[in-house]
Amino acid sequence: MTKFRIPLACPEITDADREAVLQVLRTPDLSFGPKLGEFENAIASYLHVDQAVAVNSGTSALHLALRILNIPENSEVILPSFAFVAPLNVLLQEKLRPIFVDIDPAMLNTTPELVEAAITPRTKAIIAIHTFGRPVDAAKLRDLADRRGLFLIEDACEALGAEIGSRKAGSFGHISVLAFYPNKQITTGEGGILMTSNPEFADHARRLRNQGRDPSLDWFQQTEIGYSYRLSEMNCALGLEQLKRIETIVERRQALAALYDQKLSSIPQIVRPALSAPGHRISWFVYVVQLASGFNASERDALCAALSARGIATARYFAPLHLQPVAAELSKSHLPQTEFAADRVIALPFFNQLTESQIDEVCRTLKESLKDL
């Protein structure tokens, strides 16, 4: 694997984080100990939700959401195509039919209007995704879901700390999920969490994450098919310590985005993301720019290669889900805004410890490399 002088992402691990993990290692409780409940309660308190169930990844949390909602096979679930592959994977695993919708090109999120237009009698659920930490209008999507008798699964995996109005992203879904992979705002190494205000959903999630065991019965008695989706005490201890500084992290990332915006303003070939979302709060997961409309995907890839050759990591977020080979037999969609954006987006280095001098170098190299296209 190429080692970059300026990586795309880098987890911020402090001495306090390390000590929190070491404290767990000094105990016999490495799984299902006190840190699990503490972490779940801390996340629930921060988001102002009733129940939180920690699992080993955001993908696992999405999978459990579908299992808990018991959506019949071959039912339709609406989601944006411009997204990470995890929602598509869990839908296909559960033999559900993804119905892909397009995006607003400015925000790179779908809209309630596009979702509503895709609803059919076979629709059972909506997956709302806060892409790159930019809030989708989850309040309107929840109203839409309730009005049409659908479930709303809120995927806030990239958006811890984002807000829609006065409420946190992750507090709107019938079931919502977060993820804590090392490139996220806070990390547990690997990990995710499922949130809900329905205690029956939460109890079901707790059974499913632990092999289908019912805690009211003997340890070796299982009431249904379950999974090994547990999250260790070390992961939870790390997450607890990191969550203490989430507000500082969100503010730091906003400041980094503002620096990028300032330094890229003199490059006309680059379309910068808006620094704010009226009435909402962005929690920057990554900093993604787009090449202007005159460029194509091969030129974007050549630009990324040029930065890579000079030790600067970039990424092509995201490949449209409706064009993935695994979905070829399911979707014949043409989503022009998704396809247009996917050919031109570039994620630039973005992490808490990124310095202004590193941002200067990224922007200078980007400008110089554009001259060679």
The terminus-to-terminus CA distance of the chain in angstroms comes to 26
Q: Helix, strand, coil shares of the chain as percentages rounded to 5? A: 40, 15, 45
Range(s) of the domain holding residue 74? 15-243
- For each of the chain's 373 residues, which pLDDT tens digit applies? 568 999 999 999 999 999 999 999 999 999 999 999 999 999 999 999 999 999 999 999 999 999 999 999 999 999 999 999 999 999 999 999 999 999 999 999 999 999 999 999 999 999 999 999 999 999 999 999 999 999 999 999 999 999 999 999 999 999 999 999 999 999 999 999 999 999 999 999 999 999 999 877 777 788 899 999 999 999 999 999 999 999 999 999 999 999 999 999 999 999 999 999 999 999 999 999 999 999 999 999 999 999 999 999 999 989 999 999 998 777 777 899 999 999 999 999 999 999 999 999 999 999 999 998 8
Cα 214 to Cα 52, 68, 206, 285: the distances in Å are 18, 15, 8, 36
63 and 135 share one domain: yes
Residue 197 pairs with which residues in a beta bridge? none
CATH code for the domain in which residue 253 is found: 3.90.1150.10
232 and 256 share one domain: no
163 and 271 share one domain: no
Number of separate domains in the chain: 2
* Whole-prediction pTM: 0.96
CATH code for the domain in which residue 204 is found: 3.40.640.10
Q: Would you name the residues annotated as active-site residues?
A: 184
Look at residues 187, 211, 243 and tell me which one is the last residue of a structural domain. Answer: 243
Residue 273 in any domain: the answer is yes
Torsion of CA 349, 354, 359, 362, to 10 degrees: -40
